[in-house]
Structure 1
């Protein structure tokens, strides 16, 4: 068990984040978790953090590409670089991030989670190496497509691994989410900080290193992927009892016909409602996060801060030249900090999945998100303090619902099709959910921010109603 001991060091690092140890007693929580669970949780924490570090670092580069390049040279023709053309180019990678989850889910049921996670990490590292060497935007686009394809397999692989291998499933989902939020919060911060001192090509190359190291660790991980299924009542190494249909799990799909039949099997039960719910969750998530930095800047009204005011002159890039001193866009760092609050939401949500019915948690979480959307602008207009408070609530509930719907998927699907079910789930969250950014942009273009938050409240309200429907349909455990 080469890798099992590393969870203690990983958790120790989380425990010593400033102020975090007072709200997340990490060491105490995992004290009674078995070795197989620790090994799996260590691997998925590492990989999940990497995925979201890269996901949220890409938008930081976009601003630089807009100023550095004027055309996208396609050989026979060229396209002017605009927000629209660059957005479409970057969108190809993000689209694959969501669309690739479904074939990734099919594949993970056939080859297992560990192989796909290792491949994901190597693919993401390779994509950023290619990005670092990119001489033009065509190669940049190829690098982003490679990243999207590689990253897309992670969620079905990682979540399947937790659902079938970790006996303390709620704790596994909680720490998995915490690692993702650390990547979401610190990825953009680290990228922006490095760009103060280095060219973006160098920064992209530096960012490739952590994924290579994580892939090396992953290859040495030693655990049983089906341990929780084998230990469960009514389960065995091939699958577990399907609580919603009464059937035994299958062992994946091996043909198009089987894919169609197994998909019909999934959507014949409660999973259809779960899928609809996660689509609304994805629309809310992408809709609010896409434009939140701009909204923060316009509401707070903080001007860029010169680097010279926060760093010694010797450390300020360009301080000895005639070039303008770099500035900090404060709203970006505030945004990163607010996203990091999701760590607490992920932890609380994950722990509660072991204590209450997941459908009830979904109703509470999405109901809170609807209220936050309605109250956001009125409270934000009261000043910086109230704005930060409402953003903290947004970050908390936005990520608290994730462990609940991840655990709900596990409860409404057979273990042998868990990869396929998580593939559909993240097709809904990141694939269909990607439309949330486009919807938000359109609403802001034709109306205003009040209309945007009204639409977001509608998404959350729809998810709440679906959660109520699930809660009423599912029999109460004896």
Structure 2
């Protein structure tokens, strides 16, 4: 296949388009739910605790379902699973649009969480086995996710100004439906980057013995360290993105400064938070390009060191005024999201292709499942101790990640040859 100016051949570009759309849609739905929660608290005569539990019914499967989703990817192939994910998420929001009770909402959100959990193992497995220029596509894939992260809550909050929340849910389902239709029409080879004859979308069986055997093989290799690193990333990521908006809004420099206009009830800290997410897009792009030039473990170690320094720096920077805080948020966003292409690439480097779905299943179990523990720990530190203690814990987490990365770098071996090393490129 002939490569274009960005280094991607036709198959790479087709997979990139398919996965970028799907990734953006996943986070489009994900970040709309907290905006709805504010409306539900005012509409339904139930406790906030019960509504929080109902929302958790959607978010819990999103992380915990990644492992069984990975198994399904290895059996049925990533393309089918991504289509099922897109269709299921869209159907869940259509169902949400017809919900008139908290119980119906609970069913809708649970359906969303179960179907959404499929995406990351499937999408990343597809990129790792079908794309030759993985780093570039991982970068664009991450940027698309950030677009969904930013647009989902913005679109939801904006539409709620003029529409009932049920109607907003129905409108939000439309891009998911269109993405599903596009996915059925997309054409690409999901195993083009592998030196395998007769590769297709299907894998092995789902037997318990094979699960145990494949898992034992994975965790007896360098993947054990990769899994630990991804869990550490999840702890830092969830802690920062969960509490930073509240922390920014509490910084004295933000006091007395109202956002332009009065339609959106966003404070200045919320705008700074959106800027952090936008800067993250640049971080993902740059890091994605670097994954083909910098050894993945070395890149991870460097980014973890930077994240540790940024955690230590927040408290003094927060007392310096608005411009230093704005610059800090840009650097933090760039660095925080720059780590994503590197840990995704590490899974592709240190796992065999035939268990790639299972590998990414474990990866996102660590990222979104185990990593969510920092939400409760971070809340405890902020409520019972101080902001300094919270950011110190993030620095410790980053230090642990850098140590794990150095251990991988010192080992200097991979569990499987890099796809880029075994395929015959026809540039």
- TM-score, normalisation: structure 1: 0.82
Selected match of 1:50 from 25, 30, 36: 25
On the 8 A contact 1:188/1:336 being kept in 2, the answer is: no
Structure 1 unaligned blocks of 5 or more:
1-27, 72-80, 240-249, 317-325
Match of 2:206 among 229, 254, 270: 254
Q: 1:310 aligns with which of 261, 274, 277?
A: 261
Deviation at 1:442, TM superposition (A): 1.4
| Deviation for aligned residue 1:475 | 4.2
Q: Work out the CA distance in 2 between the residues paired with 1:275 and 1:119.
A: 26
> Is the 1:226–1:237 Cα contact (8 Å) retained in structure 2?
no
Q: Distance in 2 between matches of 1:69 and 1:29?
A: 54
* Counterpart position of 1:345: 283
Within a 5 Å distance, the mapping from 1:443-462 to structure 2 comes to 443-462=381-400
Partner of 1:301: 254
Tell me the distance in 2 between the aligned counterparts of 1:431 and 1:123: 21
Structure 1 residue 32: Cα displacement: 3.4
Q: Is the 8 A contact 2:223 2:350 kept in 1?
A: yes
CA distance in 1, matches of 2:267, 2:172: 21
- Find the aligned partners of 2:314 and 2:176 in 1 and give their Cα distance: 37
1:233-272 superposed matches below 5 A: 235-238=196-199, 251-272=203-224
Q: Which residue does 1:381 correspond to in 2?
A: 319
Equivalent positions of 1:48-197 (< 5 A) are 48-71=23-46, 81-82=47-48, 84-197=49-162
Aligned to 2:309: 371
Count of residue correspondences: 412
User: Does the aligned pair in 1 maintain the 2:275–2:329 contact within 8 Å?
Assistant: no
Q: Which residue of 2 aligns with 1:289?
A: 241
Question: Cα–Cα, structure 1 residues 379 and 252, in superposed 2: closer, same or farther, change >3 Å?
Answer: farther
Structure 2 match to 1:280: 232
| 1:45 Cα deviation after fit | 0.4
Note the C-alpha offset of 1:40: 0.3
Mark the CA change 1:30 to 1:294 in structure 2 (over 3 Å): closer, same or farther: farther
Contact kept? 1:238, 1:416, Cα under 8 Å = no
Matched, 1:360 2:298: yes
Q: What are the Cα deviations for residues 64-92 of structure 1, in whole angstroms up to 9, with x where unaligned?
A: 22222222xxxxxxxxx12x332222112
CA offset at residue 160 of structure 1? 0.5
Q: Contact 1:252–1:420 at 8 Å: present in 2 too?
A: no
User: How many Å apart are 1:236 and its aligned residue?
Assistant: 4.5
Match of 1:228 in 2: 193
**1:412 maps to which residue?**
350
| Structure 2 CA distance for aligned equivalents of residues 201 and 337 of structure 1 | 29
- Deviation, structure 1 residue 173: 0.6
TM-aligned CA deviation for residue 303 of structure 1? 5.4
1:74 maps to none
Of 153, 165, 182, the residue aligned with 1:200 is: 165
Q: Report the secondary structure of 1:65's partner residue.
A: helix
1:8-54: CA deviations, max 9, x gaps? xxxxxxxxxxxxxxxxxxxx985431111110000000000011111
Contact 2:272 2:329 in 1 (8 A): no
The Cα RMSD (Å) is 2.1
Return the index of the structure with the highest Cα Rg.
Answer: 1
CA-to-partner distance for each residue in 1:89-114, whole Å, 9 max, x for gaps?
21121110011111110001111111
- The alpha-carbon deviation at position 450 of structure 1 amounts to 1.0
Q: Secondary structure at the match of 2:186?
A: coil
Distance 2:281 2:399 in 1: 24
Shift of 1:185: 1.7
1:7 corresponding residue in structure 2:
none
CA-to-partner distance for each residue in 1:322-370, whole Å, 9 max, x for gaps?
xxxx644443343223212110011011111111100011001111111
Write the distance in 1 (CA, Å) between the matches of 2:394 and 2:204.
Answer: 36
**8 Å CA contact 2:230, 2:343 repeated in 1:** yes
Structure 2 stretches of 5 or more lacking a match? 422-427
Aligned partner of 2:425 in structure 1 is none
**TM-score, with normalisation over the residues of structure 2?**
0.92
1:228-285: CA deviation from partner (whole Å, max 9, x where unpaired): 013xxxx55559xxxxxxxxxx944430111001100000010000001111110111
